[in-house]
Amino acid sequence: MSTSTRPRTRPRTPAKNRAAGSVPLWAIAVTALVAAAAIAVAALLPGPRHSRPPAAAPAPPVTAVAATVDGQDIPVRELALYLAQERAATFTHFRQKFGADDGPDFWTTEHDGQTPAAYLRERALADVTRVTVELHLAHRQGLLADSGYDAFLRNWQAENARRRTAVATHQVIYGPVQYTESNYFTYVLSNLAAALRDRLTDSRAITTPDSALRSYFTAHRGDFPHRSFAAAHAEVRQAYVLDHYRTLIGHLAGSARVRVHHKVFDAVPVA
């Protein structure tokens, strides 16, 4: 006896259940598009607060040590003098070489991989290194009791106090009534360098034989126009000694032990 089996039919899902248990394909597609658009918009918006560049470090105190040169501490206050002296030359260099214009981003914009701020700090460090070895040499030659910057500051304050007293008592003074820190440093260093050149010449650390002076006169003839060697002898000797003195200081600076404390050095303001 044969039997026939009727195919089972899947019961139809009521419309209400279909709406509750499944999502039409068109709705899924719309949702995906909306999500993609939201991601794209979020990418264009500024990031969260912590992703912004960190604020500039606060300026270090003037007594903080920015570097040491042959064991001598260089405080921020001293380094700041050289930064100020080199600022104009730095601006001129970047304006002429790269066409850089003054503005809020001048010091932090790179040119050939270097910012004006980094260039300025390099020049200031070279200056303070040269002066420090010069002061050390003056100390060794007995011309300076203390080559540290603290000693200079004490002398500066004492000199200004002396001048105030002189003015109050109607005494004659030469030069300004009060020196600025920078002007007094330049004044002291200029006088000390002249005394040091004389000391080195007198001790024959720098010699001035006539044969060397004549050769120097011939090589620098344009510096002494319309004058014979005999007539220009004193000027030739002075120029010769100065050149040799600068060479000596340059050699000492080139061999100096320089250590930069970057956490302080890089935070010293340049503008």
Higher pLDDT, 243 or 28: 243
CB 160 within 8 A of CB 119: no
The pTM of the full predicted model, rounded to 2 decimals, is 0.76
| Token pair of 250 as six digits | 């340059």
Q: How confident is the model at residue 216 (pLDDT cuts 50, 70, 90)?
A: very high
| C-alpha distance from residue 254 to each of 83, 123, 124, 132, 215 (Å) | 20, 14, 15, 12, 27
Up-side HSE of residue 252: CA atoms within 13 Å toward CB?
20
> For residue 226, what pLDDT band results from cuts at 50, 70 and 90?
confident
H or E element in which residue 51 lies:
none
According to DSSP, the residues that pair with 69 across neighbouring strands are: 72, 258
How far apart (Å, rounded) are the C-alpha atoms in residues 169 and 188?
A: 25
Give tens-digit pLDDT for 48-99. Answer: 333 333 445 689 999 999 999 999 999 999 999 999 999 999 999 999 999 9
With the C-alpha atoms ordered 77, 79, 83, 85, is the resulting torsion angle positive or negative?
positive
Split into its structural domains, the chain has a count of: 1
Task: Classify residue 186: in a domain, yes or no.
Answer: yes
* Bridge partner list, 74: 67
Share above pLDDT 90 across residues of the chain, in percent, rounded to a whole number: 76
Q: Stretch 155-171: mean pLDDT, rounded?
A: 97
pLDDT at 206 over 90: yes
Mean pLDDT across 191-211: 96
Sign of CA dihedral 43, 48, 54, 55: positive
What is the per-residue pLDDT for 257? 98
The answer to whether 256 and 70 have CB atoms below 8 angstroms apart is yes
Is residue 14 in some structural domain? no
Structure tokens, 178: 């009060």
Which is more confident, 19 or 147? 147
Give the per-residue pLDDT at 57.
67
Bridge partners of 111, per DSSP, are 114
pLDDT per residue over 96-151, tens digit each?
999 999 899 999 999 999 999 999 999 999 999 999 999 999 999 999 999 999 99
Give the 3-state secondary structure of residue 140.
Answer: helix
35 vs 234, higher pLDDT = 234
Q: Does the structure show a pLDDT above 60 at 8?
A: no
Is 27 inside any structural domain? Answer: no
pLDDT band at 13 (very low <50, low <70, confident <90, very high): very low
Cα(31)–Cα(20) distance, integer angstroms: 17
The answer to whether residue 22 scores a pLDDT higher than 90 is no
Q: Is the dihedral of CA 169, 175, 179, 184 positive or negative?
A: negative
> Is 116 a domain residue?
yes
Which amino acid makes up residue 256?
Answer: A
Q: Is residue 271 part of a domain?
A: no
Mean pLDDT of 4-32: 41
Among 50, 40, 134, 121, which Cα is nearest to 85's? Answer: 121
pLDDT at 158: 98
Best CA proximity match to 238, nearest among 267, 182, 197 = 197
User: What range does the domain containing 231 cover?
Assistant: 65-265
Under DSSP, the state recorded for 48 is -
> pLDDT grade, residue 18 (50/70/90)?
very low
Residue 117 belongs to domain with CATH number: 1.10.4030
CA 80 to chain centre: 9
pLDDT band at 238 (very low <50, low <70, confident <90, very high): very high
Mean pLDDT in the chain?
A: 84
Residue 180 host element (H or E):
none
